[in-house]
Structure 1
Amino acid sequence: MAERIMYIQLKTGYNTDRGPAWISRVRFSKSWRTAYFHDLALRQVSGLFDANFVDPATGDEYWVSGPKRDRTDGRYTNQLPSVDDDVIDEYEAFLAGAPLPGKEKG
């Protein structure tokens, strides 16, 4: 499985860009249509207003994307995400200019 450090935000039940957000290691299925994050298996969907993945067990919608170096991951808020302990060093190196693991070539 491919792994990437990603920005994830819960959209269901919150005003635009006000849900909890994380910088976390996400594993992707071979087809990249399933993202495994914490204990969730999120399925990629299209056509949603403000989300690109859904938890099929609960219907909760999530936005999953690569983190931004300027930390403007939330489009309409300056709320900073929680950073999982196991990715802090790699994320801080990314913020300082290093490529993300798995994205060294773009």
Structure 2
Amino acid sequence: MPRRIMFVQLKTGYDTDRGPSWIGWVDFSKTWQTARFQGRTLRRAGGMSDGNFYDVDSQEEFWVSGPKRDRTDTRYAPSAPEIEPDCADAYRAFLDGAPLPGRENG
């Protein structure tokens, strides 16, 4: 499974870009249609109101995307995502200009 450091935000139950968010490791299926994050199985889907993935068990919507160096990860509001400890060093290196693990060639 491809593994990437991603920005993940819970959308269900919150006003625009007000849900909790994280920077953490996300494991994707070979087709990139399914993701595993914090013990959740997320499935990619179009046509949702705010998210691009949904939890297959709870049906909650999530926004999953690559992190941005300028830390403007949310679309409409400032956010301070929780940085998961197991990715903190690689994320800090990314903020300092290094490529994200697994994306060294783009």
The count of aligned residue pairs is 106
Residue 47 of structure 1, CA deviation: 1.2
Which residue does 1:18 correspond to in 2? Answer: 18
Secondary structure of the residue aligned to 2:64 is strand
CA distance in 2: counterparts of 1:84 and 1:26, whole angstroms: 11
Runs of 4+ in 1 over 2 A off after TM superposition: none
The corresponding residue for 1:37 is 37
TM-score normalised by structure 2 residue count: 0.98
Q: Which residue of 1 aligns with 2:73?
A: 73
> How large is the RMSD of aligned CA atoms in angstroms?
0.6
Match of 1:102 in 2: 102
- 1:56 Cα offset (Å): 1.4
User: What stretches of structure 1 of length at least 5 have no aligned partner?
Assistant: none
Matches of 1:92 and 1:3 in 2, distance apart? 17
Residues in 1 aligned to 2:49 and 2:60: alpha-carbon distance in whole angstroms: 13
Specify the alignment match of 2:58 in structure 1. Answer: 58
Q: Displacement, 1:76?
A: 1.3
- Secondary structure of 2:79 counterpart: coil
Deviation at 1:75, TM superposition (A): 1.4
**Cα shift at 1:79:** 1.5
Q: CA deviation at 1:30?
A: 0.9
**Cα distance per residue 1:40-82 (max 9 Å; x no partner):** 0000001112210000111100000000000000111111100
Superposition TM-score, scaled by structure 1 size: 0.98
